[in-house]
Each structure stands twice: as structure tokens, then as C-alpha cells.
């Protein structure tokens, strides 16, 4: 066998002040051009391992073992050697590209600065030409290199981050959850682009992910991590279809569980009247030109039609899925339903009352019955309030209970969402909880006012497959127990198929297809729906 490109030997890592090993006696090997998937639940050590590969750990971290790149020990590199190693030999692609991109610099300037820092012998014109060539290799047109990161969509920003990683022709790319927050079509484009470039340039790839389906589609080998250790490794086909370790089997069972749809009884309008009626709803935004631009280009201001004439009924007791790619208007529609943004025109009737004409005080009262669960629970929970205080807060804001009664209700809700012992979780802070536990707190907070309708905006997209399944099962149980109606916004079509009675497909501010879940999956009518379904990776069941 040829000498490995990158090799980790008996690596152990402990963060400053932590007694436990975040990475515990891990050994891995990677050949040139090989694509390795590193999978496991949050906190298992995947990202720590990736950062150890680039010596990006805090300086006082405890590290044992070795990491070698082309035979040289990375852990022994001097600062000068590390500067050349990072970018020129190994590049890192982060989950959130905005952590890598300076909002005050154009995308082109990012690339030029990187090139000149590592290759000062290049002229600025040469650096610019290399920048344009690299951006075009990831399907970013040359004329967009003068734009700033905020002017790019999420998918385009991730392409820019990949371009930055490719600029110096590295031999290894470490991609840490590069598509978690992207919709299915953009995710497929990004990973197809990345794996194609790896093949063309004979670059190795470490794809860190909690998504077994993605790893199965784009990688050659897979390593499964659990509690800081690699518990199983091997060719993708072997690990996915003949798993040896019980943890690998549990991950596969969770992923396959989501891909086996539930049987959804039909929702009949005659027996389930609409709880929410949306009629010709529009939410348009005008991008006004500044006065100087108008002097040189006296054209009319441009209009963004984020929601463009949507008519939709949601029936009491159903789960309606809303799917579509980033920027199609899904989240804008949810904010407009809640009247967090007043619509340009149209009506939103909840329980027969038009919300668009209500006063601010009347809206506040009505919002007790319409609650929202967000994508990132950590971002919507106050880090300075205990879990108990955060869940009780809506009761006190709406004056629905005394402090003593609110505490009693919070205890009951904590028990219902599986956060026991209640006394322990009541006094903990959100930062002390895992992602799945935080989302359970967010669900408890949404339910505490006994709402009729819950708008769920990507509530499980940041969770591992096993935790996703747990949270979705909990949401189904709570729906039955509290007679809830869900508007479920997601970019994960497997989650939508698992959970929803009907699915509405949204594109460019419009609903282009609406129908029962199974019918939409098996007999899609609109070309865009067919395009979405064709981009969904499938984890096939184990063959006999």
C-alpha cells in the first residue's frame, strides 16, 4: 500500500479544564484522493478531531499521540511551518461560511488577500485572475467577485468558502458539516462540486457530518465516532449495509426510520374546518436606490416578491409541511402569518378572525394561541434565564398564571417533554444542555400557553439523526395529546414525508404544488417538485 497522505495515531485530546478526553485513542489513515466520512452524534469528538488535524485547538489543550501529514508530525510544526501547512497543504470548510468571511470585504478581496499572503511573488493582477478562475470552478460568475458576503445566498456563500479552501491547491480538505443549514438542492450541488474537484485535483476529503445518507452517497470510507472513540470504520458499503457495532446500527435504524413514512389518514375539510385561511397573501420588499446611483442609472427601484399571492388553508388537527429551497419565502410567510411583518396585501384568518386588521394589543392576545418553534433553540432561549424561568415567561407575560401556578405548570411540562428529574432541569441554564435537550425546552415553552397552532421553522435540522427521530416522535405525541395543528417548515424532504399529512412546495414566493404527502412523493406534478425529489439522497435498506 502507498504511504498515507494523513495519519492519526493513538490521538487523545482534552480541552483546558476538562478531565475527560474529547478524543480518546483514535487512529485513522487517509490515502491521496480518498474521501472519508466521519459521522457521529453531537459532542462525540468529530469536530475536535478535524481541528486537531490542523492544530487549531486551544494552546493549553492536552494532546497525546500523533498526527502526521506526508510523514511529518503536524503537532511538532513551528508557527512558520503551520502557517504554510494551513491553506497550502490542508484547508478547512466550516459549517457556517460567515465565520470565515469578513462582512467588510468583497468575496474577491477575500481570495486576493489569501493568495498574496501565501504567494507574495504574485502581482495583484495575477492574484485577481487566479481568484476569478477559482470562483468560476465552483460556479460563481466572475462579475460576482465584487459583491459582499451578505449579497450571496447561503449556498453561494458556502461556494465562496470552498473557493477559498481551493485557492492554494491543498492536498486535503476537512469539511465540517458544510451543508447542514442548506436545502436539499443546494446541498447536493455543493457536495457534487466538492467531490468532483477532489477527484479532478486528487485531493483527499474528510467530510464531518451527522448525516449518514450524505456520507453514504459521497464518501469511499466511513468512520463512526461515539464518546470520543472510533467504534467502527470501513468501506461505505460494508459499514452501512453490514454494521458491526451496536451504535452504528442505532444510527442506521434512526435514519431508516425517518425514511419509512407514516400512514397519514386523509384530512377532510368537512370534518376538519380550516384553523388558518390565507388568501392572496403578498409580502413585497422594495430595494430603493441611493440618490447618487439614481443620477447615473435612473431606473425604477427593484422589488423582491418574497411572498407572492399565496392562498392556503390549514385544517384543524393536520400537519402541513412547507418545503422549498433557501430564499423561496418559507420563513417570510411564517413571519407574515404571525404578523411580525405586516403583509403588503391579502388576508390571514385564524379561527375566523382576520389578523391583518388587529391592533397590536389584540394581536398579542391572539399570539397566545399561535406559537413558534425555531431552528436553533440556543438562539431563541435566553442564556441568562434558567430553563424553568424561560418556560414560565410566556405565562407571566400574558398573565395566565401566578408565579406559583406557573412553576407548577412548568414542572408538568418538563415531565411531559422528557426532561426529568424536573427539579434538576428547572434550575439549569440552556448552555448546560445538549441540542436535543434545548429543543425540548423550546417545545415546552411553545406549548405552555396551550396554543392551537404551532409554526415549526426547521426545528430538527441541526440535530443528529437519532435525536431528530426522538424529537419528531415527541412532537407527534404532543400533537395527539394537546390536539395541535402544525405548520412544519423544512428543507429535509424525508422529515416532511415522515411527519406531514400534506405538503406545499414553495418556489420564488409562490406555492407551485400542494397535495397529500404520499401522492406528492410518488406522483409529483410540477418540474420543481421533481427536481427537489431527485436531489434527495436515499439510504437504501440493508439487502439480504
> Percent of the chain beyond pLDDT 70?
92
CATH topology agreement for domains 1-78+207-256 and 318-343+362-534: yes
Task: Return the sign of the alpha-carbon dihedral for residues 360, 364, 369, 371.
Answer: positive
- 347 pLDDT exceeds 90? yes
pLDDT tens track for 320-341: 999 987 778 888 899 999 999 8
Look at residue 46 in the predicted model and tell me its pLDDT.
87
Domain 318-343+362-534 in this protein, CATH class: alpha beta
Strands (DSSP E) found in 201-245:
204-209, 221-226, 229-235
- 264 pLDDT exceeds 70? no
Spatial distance between the Cα atoms of 446 and 451, rounded to a whole number of angstroms? 8
In this prediction, residues 71-91 reach a mean pLDDT of: 89
Using pLDDT thresholds of 50, 70 and 90, give the confidence band for residue 539: low
Task: Return the sign of the alpha-carbon dihedral for residues 116, 75, 179, 232.
Answer: positive
Nearest to 179 by CA among 215, 230, 148, 221: 215
- 287 pLDDT exceeds 70? no
Q: Is residue 460 a contact partner of residue 293, using CB atoms and an 8 Å limit?
A: no
Look at residue 300 in the predicted model and tell me its pLDDT.
54
Spatial distance between the Cα atoms of 370 and 12, rounded to a whole number of angstroms? 48
Look at residue 75 in the predicted model and tell me its pLDDT.
87
Q: Is residue 209 a contact partner of residue 39, using CB atoms and an 8 Å limit?
A: yes
Residue 137: C-alpha distances to residues 34, 97, 118, 164, 201 (Å): 20, 18, 20, 11, 12
- 190 pLDDT exceeds 80? no
Q: What is the four-CA torsion angle of 370, 374, 380, 385, rounded to 10 degrees?
A: 70
Q: Tell how strand 221-226 and strand 90-93 pair up.
A: unpaired
pTM: 0.76
Using pLDDT thresholds of 50, 70 and 90, give the confidence band for residue 542: very low
Q: Which helix (H) or strand (E) holds 308?
A: strand 302-315
Pick the more confident residue, 268 or 438: 438
Residue 228: C-alpha distances to residues 73, 433, 476 (Å): 22, 18, 32
Using pLDDT thresholds of 50, 70 and 90, give the confidence band for residue 293: low
Is the backbone of residue 418 left (phi > 0), alpha (psi -120 to 50) or beta? left
- 184 pLDDT exceeds 80? no
Using pLDDT thresholds of 50, 70 and 90, give the confidence band for residue 271: low
User: Is the peptide bond prior to 215 cis by the omega test (within 30 degrees of 0)?
Assistant: no
Residues 6+ positions from 56 with CB-CB distance below 8 Å:
92
Pick the more confident residue, 488 or 285: 488
In this prediction, residues 514-542 reach a mean pLDDT of: 83
pLDDT tens track for 112-145: 999 999 999 999 999 999 999 999 888 788 888 8
Q: How many CB atoms lie within 10 A of CB 130?
A: 17
Q: What is the four-CA torsion angle of 193, 199, 204, 205, rounded to 10 degrees?
A: 30
pLDDT tens track for 363-374: 988 989 999 998
Look at residue 325 in the predicted model and tell me its pLDDT.
79
pLDDT tens track for 393-427: 999 999 999 999 999 999 999 999 999 999 999 99
Q: 61-70, 254-263, 311-320, 476-485: lowest mean pLDDT where?
A: 254-263
Mean pLDDT of the chain: 87
Spatial distance between the Cα atoms of 455 and 498, rounded to a whole number of angstroms? 17
Q: Is residue 209 a contact partner of residue 251, using CB atoms and an 8 Å limit?
A: no
> Percent of the chain beyond pLDDT 90?
49
pLDDT tens track for 452-501: 999 998 888 777 777 888 889 999 999 999 999 999 998 888 889 989 99
From 3.40.50.2300, 3.20.20.70, 3.40.50.10800, 3.40.50.300, which CATH number describes the 1-78+207-256 domain?
3.40.50.300
Look at residue 434 in the predicted model and tell me its pLDDT.
78
pLDDT tens track for 199-238: 888 899 999 987 787 888 899 999 999 989 999 999 998 9
Residue extents of the structural domains in the chain: 1-78+207-256, 318-343+362-534
Nearest to 253 by CA among 240, 263, 235, 262: 240
pLDDT tens track for 163-175: 898 898 899 999 8
Amino acid at each position: 500500500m502507498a504511504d498515507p497522505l494523513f495519519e492519526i495515531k493513538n490521538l487523545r485530546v482534552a480541552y483546558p479544564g476538562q478531565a475527560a478526553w474529547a478524543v480518546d485513542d483514535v487512529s485513522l489513515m487517509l490515502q491521496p484522493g480518498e474521501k472519508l466520512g466521519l459521522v457521529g452524534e453531537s459532542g462525540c469528538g468529530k469536530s475536535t478531531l478535524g481541528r486537531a488535524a490542523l492544530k487549531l485547538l486551544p494552546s493549553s489543550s492536552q494532546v497525546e499521540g500523533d498526527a502526521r501529514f506526508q510523514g511529518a508530525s503536524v503537532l511538532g510544526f513551528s508557527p512558520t511551518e503551520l502557517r504554510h501547512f494551513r491553506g497550502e497543504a490542508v484547508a478547512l470548510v466550516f459549517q457556517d461560511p460567515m465565520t470565515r468571511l469578513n462582512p467588510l470585504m468583497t468575496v474577491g478581496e477575500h481570495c486576493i488577500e489569501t493568495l498574496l499572503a501565501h504567494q507574495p511573488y504574485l502581482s495583484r493582477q495575477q492574484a485577481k485572475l487566479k481568484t476569478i478562475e477559482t470562483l468560476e470552478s465552483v460556479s460563481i460568475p466572475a462579475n460576482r467577485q465584487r459583491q459582499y458576503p451578505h449579497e450571496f445566498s447561503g449556498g453561494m456563500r458556502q461556494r465562496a468558502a470552498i473557493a477559498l479552501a481551493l485557492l492554494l491547491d491543498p492536498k486535503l480538505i476537512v469539511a465540517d458539516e458544510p451543508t447542514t443549514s442548506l436545502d436539499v438542492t443546494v446541498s447536493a450541488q455543493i457536495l457534487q462540486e466538492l467531490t468532483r474537484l477532489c477527484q479532478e485535483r486528487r485531493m483527499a476529503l474528510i467530510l464531518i457530518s451527522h448525516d449518514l445518507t450524505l456520507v453514504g452517497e459521497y464518501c469511499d470510507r466511513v468512520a463512526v465516532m461515539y464518546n470520543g472513540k472510533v467504534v467502527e470504520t470501513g468501506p461505505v458499503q460494508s459499514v452501512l449495509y453490514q454494521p458491526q457495532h451496536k451504535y452504528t446500527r442505532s444510527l442506521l435504524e434512526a435514519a431508516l426510520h425517518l425514511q419509512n413514512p407514516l400512514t397519514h389518514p386523509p384530512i377532510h375539510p368537512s370534518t376538519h374546518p380550516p384553523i388558518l385561511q390565507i388568501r392572496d397573501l403578498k409580502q413585497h420588499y422594495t430595494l430603493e436606490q441611493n440618490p447618487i446611483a439614481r443620477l447615473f442609472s435612473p431606473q425604477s427601484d427593484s422589488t423582491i416578491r418574497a411572498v407572492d399571492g399565496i392562498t392556503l388553508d390549514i385544517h384543524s388537527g393536520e400537519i402541513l409541511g412547507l418545503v422549498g429551497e433557501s430564499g423561496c419565502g418559507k420563513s417570510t410567510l411564517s413571519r407574515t402569518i404571525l404578523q411580525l411583518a405586516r403583509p403588503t396585501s391579502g388576508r390571514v384568518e385564524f379561527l375566523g378572525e382576520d389578523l391583518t386588521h388587529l391592533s397590536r394589543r389584540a394581536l398579542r392576545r391572539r399570539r397566545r394561541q399561535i406559537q413558534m418553534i425555531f431552528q436553533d433553540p440556543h438562539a431563541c432561549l435566553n442564556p441568562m434565564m434558567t430553563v424553568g424561568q424561560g418556560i414560565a415567561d410566556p405565562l407571566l407575560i400574558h398573565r395566565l398564571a401566578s408565579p406559583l401556578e406557573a412553576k407548577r405548570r412548568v414542572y408538568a411540562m418538563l415531565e411531559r417533554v422528557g426532561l426529568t428529574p424536573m427539579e434538576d432541569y428547572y434550575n439549569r441554564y440552556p448552555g448546560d444542555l445538549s441540542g436535543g435537550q434545548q429543543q425540548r425546552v423550546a417545545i415546552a415553552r411553545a406549548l405552555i400557553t396551550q396554543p392551537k397552532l404551532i409554526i415549526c421553522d426547521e426545528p430538527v435540522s441541526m440535530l443528529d439523526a437519532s435525536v431528530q427521530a426522538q424529537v419528531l416522535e415527541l412532537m407527534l405525541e404532543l400533537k395527539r395529546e394537546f390536539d395541535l395543528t402544525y405548520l412544519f417548515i423544512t428543507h429535509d424532504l424525508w422529515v416532511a414525508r415522515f411527519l406531514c399529512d400534506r405538503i406545499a412546495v414553495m418556489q420564488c414566493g409562490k406555492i407551485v404544488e400542494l397535495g397529500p404527502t404520499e401522492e406528492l412523493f410518488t406522483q409529483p406534478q410540477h418540474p420543481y417538485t421533481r427536481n427537489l425529489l431527485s436531489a434527495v439522497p436515499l439510504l437504501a435498506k440493508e439487502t439480504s
